Amino acid sequence: MDLSREIATNKYFEPSIELASKEEIKNVQKKRLKYILSYVYERSPFYKRLFKENNISPYDFNELDDIRKFPFTTKEDLIKYAYPYGGDFLCVNREDLVGWHMTSGTTGRPIAGPYTSNDYWTWMKLMARCLVTAGVRKGDILLNLYGYGLFTGGLGFHQSSHLVGAAVIPWGVGRTEALIQTILDFSPTVMTGTPSYQLYVLETLIKKGIDTKKLPIRITIPGAEMWTEEIRRRLEEGFGLKEKNGGSRNVYGATELLGPGSGIECEYENGFHFWIDHFYLEIIDPETLEPVQPGESGEMVVTTLTKEALPLIRYRMRDVTVLDDDPCNCGRKAFPRCKWILGRIDDVIHYRGAKIWPKVIQETLLKFPNVLEYQVEVDRFGTSGFTIKVELESKGSNEEIKRAITSEVRKSLSFINPKIIFVPEGTLPRYEGKSKRIIFLS
């Protein structure tokens, strides 16, 4: 990145913040933490009650490490006390809210994220910061494949794109045949959407005989579900992104944190920069709840520093990552990078006493170019077994490849000996939204 050019031409590149020293950012964090702790104590019935139950008050915070004195907030707390308008968490009057976004609620009651006007503007500016960091510029045409509606992705990417001067094709999900023609007619340069759907779009383009490397798409921003370096490789090679000085940038966010926009990868693609001037980040051992060191895996815990409607104190994200706090070659010294999300604690597959990260299965299978799709069927109680269905490309697949895949999968899963079934090309479902590759039978 040419930093001097960014400073001169893009108001959403914030040199005073993004190029600040670690000490300067710590001072920002300390000031904002002190404020937000007092803010929720005075305005949120939930936090006033929680702080009193734990014999803690905002006056007990003086240094950054003091945040560890305060209790955690969990997803269960939000489900119980914050739905639908914000409930006991809400720090403003209902009349001050301008809208909501919401999780899918596939595992029960959804989590709603309310916004004041200031919250929405904070979100849009953070999203604009993310787009600039990823390489999006004025004049780009962004094809937005994230769903519109209560899900945060569609509108988050759409409206923030205008701030950096990019045009938007507001597609959403579905109608893939028509989408292919739109790509050919409108020549988008940036594509956002779930990695599963981006791969499906790539696969469909190739099947139609289109030279995908000659398309003007130079940046993709996959998110909203687990993905791996193998998916990045397929997208970057399939669209020829590196030859166009672009790539596939990993983005991070959650409804609880305003939406996407809490962090994104720069051009070095070595973990997403987490915007710790707005979100105070801790990495803890999910069992002991004690902090872990940079380079060690742990659960993300986030305190929102600038949210107005529904701030969160020490919220357990359930996402497991590894933190790298070394300065980045892009010039951002103070913003740590979170490596790939290893998985969600809630998503770990427990099978016959073993813990299996779905990410491990994906990484292992997609090393093989012949693997087009896969699906895992698991009996939680271990009675029906553990089956992995693998869809192979018809051309070039043979018994030797099948044996190699079987060997690698069983090696990666150590003590598990899954049943592996190879199915013909086109057999397994494709996903226009979030993928559903893990199916629990009971």
CATH number at 416 reads 3.30.300.30
Is pLDDT of 92 > 70? yes
Decide if 400 is inside a domain.
Answer: yes
Residue 325 has a pLDDT of 93
Is pLDDT of 3 > 60? no
> What's the sign of the alpha-carbon dihedral 118, 124, 125, 130?
positive
Decide if 433 is inside a domain.
Answer: yes
Decide if 414 is inside a domain.
Answer: yes
Is pLDDT of 389 > 70? yes
pLDDT band at 314 (very low <50, low <70, confident <90, very high): very high
Is pLDDT of 72 > 50? yes
Decide if 104 is inside a domain.
Answer: no
CA dist list (Å): 283 to 34, 249, 319, 410 = 20, 22, 10, 31
Region 321-347: mean pLDDT is 90
Residue 4 has a pLDDT of 45
How far does CA 194 lie from the centroid of its chain? 10
pLDDT band at 415 (very low <50, low <70, confident <90, very high): confident
Residue 49 has a pLDDT of 97
* 3-state SS assignment for residue 236: helix
pLDDT band at 7 (very low <50, low <70, confident <90, very high): very low
**Domain range holding 369?**
349-440
The dihedral formed by the CA atoms of 67, 309, 158 and 173, expressed in degrees to the nearest 10: 90
CA dist list (Å): 424 to 40, 373, 392, 393, 418 = 56, 10, 6, 7, 19
Beta strands in 50-166 (DSSP E): 97-102, 112-116, 141-144
Decide if 238 is inside a domain.
Answer: no
CA dist list (Å): 314 to 79, 88, 117 = 16, 17, 24
Region 360-377: mean pLDDT is 90
Closest C-alpha to 18, from 255, 190, 266, 253: 266
Is pLDDT of 151 > 70? yes
The more confident residue out of 261 and 4 is 261
pLDDT band at 363 (very low <50, low <70, confident <90, very high): confident
Decide if 401 is inside a domain.
Answer: yes
Phi-psi sector, 106: left (phi>0), alpha (psi -120 to 50), beta: alpha
Say if CB 334 and CB 273 are below 8 A apart: no
Decide if 397 is inside a domain.
Answer: yes
Query: What percentage of residues in the chain have a pLDDT greater than 90?
Result: 72
Q: What is the pTM of this model?
A: 0.86
Decide if 407 is inside a domain.
Answer: yes
Is pLDDT of 108 > 90? no
The more confident residue out of 174 and 219 is 219
Q: What rounded mean pLDDT belongs to the chain?
A: 91
**Distance (Å, rounded) from C-alpha 439 to C-alpha 442?**
9
Residue 65 has a pLDDT of 97
- The number of domains in the chain is 1
Closest C-alpha to 310, from 381, 241, 257, 354: 257
Is pLDDT of 48 > 70? yes
Residue 340 has a pLDDT of 86
pLDDT band at 24 (very low <50, low <70, confident <90, very high): very high
- Minimum mean pLDDT range among 138-147, 373-382, 396-405, 424-433: 373-382
How far does CA 406 lie from the centroid of its chain? 30
Residue 382 has a pLDDT of 54
**Distance (Å, rounded) from C-alpha 323 to C-alpha 130?**
19
